[in-house]
Amino acid sequence: MLKQLFVVIFFVVTASSFAQTTQKKDKADEMVKRDSIKKAEFLKNIGNGYLPIGFFDLDLRYLIKFNQFEGFRTGLGGTTNKRFSEKYRINGYTVYGFKDKRYKFSLGGGFRVNEQTNTWINLSYTDDLQETGSSTFLTDKRFFTFFEPRLLNIDLFHRHITKSVSLQHKISNHLLSETQFSYSNINPTYTYNFVLDNDSFNSFSLSTASISLQWSPFSKFELNENNVVETKNGYPKFTVQVTQGFKSVFGSDFNFSKLDFRTIQQFNHKNDAVTSITLVAGIAGGDIPLTHLYHAYPNNITKETILQRFSVAGLNSFETMYFNEFFSDKFSTLQLKHALRPFQITERFKPQLVLISRYALGNMDSIDRHQGIQFNTLEHLYSESGFEINKLILGFGLSFAYRYGAYYLPNFEDNIAFKFTFNISL
């Protein structure tokens, strides 16, 4: 009888210990899983340029930058996250330029109208600088890098005070839209006059309406825990944006129209090589000042020697085209890149060779309207080719580009761009 009782007690204790051990192991596994999710989410935020601090995401873009007009530019900015609210958000920043000795800032917010279609209405007030001739798409996803290569050498900015209201709306998983109405006071920081009939404008006001559509017909999506997640980043992708300026609306000075288009195609080869093709085009008509026309993504400094021009190569910029060399009211660019399979020299040392060719074409009507600044136009084909050797050490590499064709310069050295690259991913 005692033996049987002992056996029963032994099995009860053993089973209890095993159950407790299993329970502890399950809890430990759950904790490890939660930590992994938190770590992945943290790295994703950092990769997008945010540092989460409680209910606020600090925006790393505003910590420190440098350009030729402001010198060092530093400040703080960010946006509230889901811990603050899933229906409302507040965002903003303030920065200071040490060379121009001016503060710039932006304050905005938004509220969600529909969760299923991710529809948001946003309001903002911004007092800042913008590069003359730059053009962006409203629907572009946020893009963050530790370096913004072109920014280092830009010197042609205009100041703008802009009030805007926008509507973000997901028409479908494959089709995103954003509509914006804005009113801006524009003041170029350089000598410039826009001559129209018998009037000359060195500052002006613009009221504009824009609608942007981004279509990714070959991407694939799945429903994961009530969230739609992109499982395949498909190509090609198409983006189109229409902008209309209205004269006399809120005191606006000009009527004009703009149409911008971009398509990106990528081929992933079996040998791990990748070929990408990017086509960008834009056309502007009406009474439109230089501030809202197009450059062709130049990234070369106007200095005498190759070594004096040594800087950071951009991701999609023309490395041999000098800043402020060309402007257009209609233009197109074609960029071809072929990244070979990385050379696996060691487990950690895997440099990659990328072959690149870029082409640009453009034109401008009524060039005599733009006075106080000298520039050329792109009636003939602009051509450059070269290569990059990326990830040589700590994410840094080297870039070489050569300018040829219709816009070849008389001095051989002036057609060469030799720079370093920086590529890192989290």
Amino acid 41: pLDDT:
58
- Residue 227 and residue 1: Cα distance in Å, rounded? 61
With H, G, I as helix, E, B as strand and everything else as coil, classify residue 303.
Answer: coil
pLDDT(230) > 50? yes
Supply 174's token pair: 């494959």
pTM of the full structure: 0.86
Fold of 116-422: Porin (2.40.160)
Cα 275 to Cα 254, 265, 271, 338, 402: the distances in Å are 42, 8, 12, 4, 20
The one-letter amino acid at 244: Q
- Check residues 34 and 114 and name the one with the higher pLDDT: 114
Q: pLDDT by residue (tens digit) across 246-256?
A: 999 999 999 99
- Of the pLDDT bands very low, low, confident and very high (cuts 50, 70, 90), residue 18 is very low
pLDDT(227) > 90? no
Q: Output helix, strand, coil percentages for the chain, rounded to the nearest 5.
A: 15, 50, 35
- Residue 150 and residue 298: Cα distance in Å, rounded? 8
pLDDT(5) > 70? no
Comparing 10-19, 113-122, 369-378, the range with the smallest average pLDDT is 10-19
Amino acid 150: pLDDT:
82
Domain ranges in the chain are 14-47, 116-422
Long-range CB pairs of 201-204, under 8 A, 24+ apart, other chains included: 201/253, 201/289, 204/253, 204/254, 204/289
Amino acid 286: pLDDT:
95
